[in-house]
Structure 1
């Protein structure tokens, strides 16, 4: 029952988003600045956020969940490490919308969505850079197998990178009951293809982009960086660098469960069976990644098949890389304010710049 509740909620929200994208710009002029004390309902009722189409349902799995969360403040809804950057991101979304910027872009065409309705939820959220013509970053948030973290990991990262001058896109990709048949890899590939096709319109160069991935989003980004299984098979631009926070390297015991839940009765390669160590090839892009010793979600991080093995594999293959290990950096903290990981993105951007040109 929960999966159907989720699908109905997702479908209703997607339809509402598509309707809001057609709202005139003047409808967004009366927005107020958001703070930690803004409630979810106030955020969602704001004319600019409505008009932007930005997806703000990052915890709700049902109508009951929506009722529970809608009167909670952003401070209550978001992780403490992310709330300030995430609130700033929502203010930036509202500002861009008031300035006539289209924030939400459908990755798939109307014809593709008509043939497969789940594709309608695959979206890019656009944060224009301060100067046109530069490199862009594409954020692949974690998903926890249920829904992606567009406002928290996605929004907080977009805000910090925007403050450093970059154009940023946050990807909402298929997950939960729609993540079978390698859907997240396909969505990421088509997002890169879409950005490349509209590079002039977005004011970005298509080459040397950074993929910023968290948790399971980090695994998706890491697999996409493989030429055979990822960017090469979809004939899209190779990433210039991977910037990964607490990435899943190997799903270990979850692999059979994922197959039963999402691909039962099917054969063939599935991304969640992949260990990132086996994805590293001669064409693999430079990698900056970090994790925390107190990350209880990835408690197997010190065990074979996780981060230290990934580090050694990159070393053996002569791939430029940097691994950072923090004492205090729990899971799902994104930009990591208030933890040992605070400021990691500045170092990661320096790594990206050092290993790309243009």
Structure 2
């Protein structure tokens, strides 16, 4: 009995030792495996950050052809490449524009790439495939979305370009990005050349946003229309005449129009509240013409605000590093006053 008991005890001890050693080996393997996995993941992530971040030295063509953007990357810069110059983001130049900020260009490109790669929808078609097949020019249209707070009001930003091209990277993307940082939902429209077609595209864009307001998580009350140069005319025309005048449903009027550097002189008694800013050295849009229009709106009892800046030329965009820097805050305050 004693010998058998000792034998059984010895076997039990051996089994315990074997189980213990197996557990230790499994544990060590799991640690090594976990360490290897985490190390690989960290390395991949670091490499992705190193390779995916755009810089001022990034080729414009690399942004256009980046797979993160699918087939709409070509719309980030003017479709007609003759209207921009430079090979890299830092060298970007746009016809009729001044004070282009390379840092802002890089920030916008990285914002778009980051959101697109993380599953965010940053671009919407405003025309159906059938409509684009019937009019191929509509293939070069759409809305870039800079999302703000869910349920917040929206703005549509329209770049200029003499109705020949769309200078969005300097004249609407920066505005939309800053508005989104303030919590507002901002869209930047890429439209067809020509004053009439551009306004039709803006009317369609407004209709698209209204029709998809729930999915986009936007508040359609007191929305605003923004624009510089030709884009300013678009905003003013839609503000004055409404969406129905350009082939869409009759939708509520914009709560405010924000215009930059355009010699637009038309107005009506039903124009929305209007904010304007322009440089005194603008050789394309005379600041006195813009001031005269606002004076007439003022006489009709329409709220207005006007700013002109010394020595500033046409197409200064956000005016970073100029006497106009910060004007967008004044414009937002003006818009917010109309919400009350």
When normalised by structure 1's length, the TM-score is: 0.74
Change (3 A) 1:158 1:82: farther
Mark the runs of 5 or more structure 2 residues left unpaired by the alignment. Answer: 1-47
Find the counterpart in structure 1 of residue 226 from structure 2: 212
Change (3 A) 1:50 1:248: farther
The answer (yes or no) to whether the contact 2:163–2:198 under 8 Å persists in 1 is no
Counterparts of 1:41-80 in structure 2, within 5 Å, are 41-50=61-70, 53=73, 55-58=75-78, 60-61=80-81, 69=86, 72-78=87-93, 80=99
Q: CA deviation at 1:80?
A: 4.3
In angstroms, what is the RMSD of aligned CA positions?
Answer: 2.2
Q: CA deviation at 1:248?
A: 3.0
Change (3 A) 1:307 1:80: closer
Matched, 1:184 2:198: yes
Q: 3-state SS of the aligned residue for 1:221?
A: helix
Q: CA deviation at 1:208?
A: 1.0
Mark the runs of 5 or more structure 1 residues left unpaired by the alignment. Answer: 1-28, 250-274
2:272 to 270, 275, 285: 285
How many angstroms apart in 2 are the aligned matches of 1:232 and 1:315? 26
Matched, 1:352 2:338: no
Encode CA deviations 1:247-302: one digit per residue, 9 max, x unaligned: 231xxxxxxxxxxxxxxxxxxxxxxxxx32xx222x3211111111011222x433
Tell me which moved more, 82-91 or 94-103. 82-91
Q: CA deviation at 1:158?
A: 1.6
Encode CA deviations 1:4-47: one digit per residue, 9 max, x unaligned: xxxxxxxxxxxxxxxxxxxxxxxxx7761122222212322433
Q: CA deviation at 1:113?
A: 1.4
Counterparts of 1:320-331 in structure 2, within 5 Å, are 320-331=303-314
Matched, 1:335 2:318: yes
Find the counterpart in structure 2 of residue 242 from structure 1: 257
How many angstroms apart in 2 are the aligned matches of 1:137 and 1:147? 21
Matched, 1:308 2:291: yes
Encode CA deviations 1:292-338: one digit per residue, 9 max, x unaligned: 1011222x433xxx212212111111101100111032211111111
Q: CA deviation at 1:61?
A: 4.1
How many angstroms apart in 1 are the aligned matches of 2:65 and 2:138? 25
How many angstroms apart in 2 are the aligned matches of 1:46 and 1:118? 23
Q: CA deviation at 1:115?
A: 1.6
Q: 3-state SS of the aligned residue for 2:243?
A: coil
Find the counterpart in structure 2 of residue 297 from structure 1: 284
The answer (yes or no) to whether the contact 2:287–2:308 under 8 Å persists in 1 is no
How many angstroms apart in 2 are the aligned matches of 1:308 and 1:52? 38
The answer (yes or no) to whether the contact 1:54–1:103 under 8 Å persists in 2 is no
The count of residues paired between Structure 1 and Structure 2 equals 285
How many angstroms apart in 2 are the aligned matches of 1:42 and 1:343? 31
Change (3 A) 1:34 1:61: closer
Q: CA deviation at 1:52?
A: 5.7
How many angstroms apart in 1 are the aligned matches of 2:280 and 2:99? 19
Change (3 A) 1:80 1:74: farther
Name the one with the larger helix percent: 2
Q: CA deviation at 1:90?
A: 1.4
Q: CA deviation at 1:50?
A: 4.3
Counterparts of 1:1-358 in structure 2, within 5 Å, are 32-50=52-70, 53=73, 55-58=75-78, 60-61=80-81, 69=86, 72-78=87-93, 80-129=99-148, 131-175=149-193, 179=194, 182-226=196-240, 229-233=241-245, 234=248, 235-249=250-264, 275-276=265-266, 279-281=267-269, 283-298=270-285, 300-302=286-288, 306-357=289-340
How many angstroms apart in 2 are the aligned matches of 1:115 and 1:46? 28
Change (3 A) 1:242 1:210: same
When normalised by structure 2's length, the TM-score is: 0.78
Encode CA deviations 1:68-104: one digit per residue, 9 max, x unaligned: 74xx221211454432223211111111101212222
Greater relative contact order: 1 or 2 (C-alpha under 8 angstroms, separation 6 or more)? Answer: 1
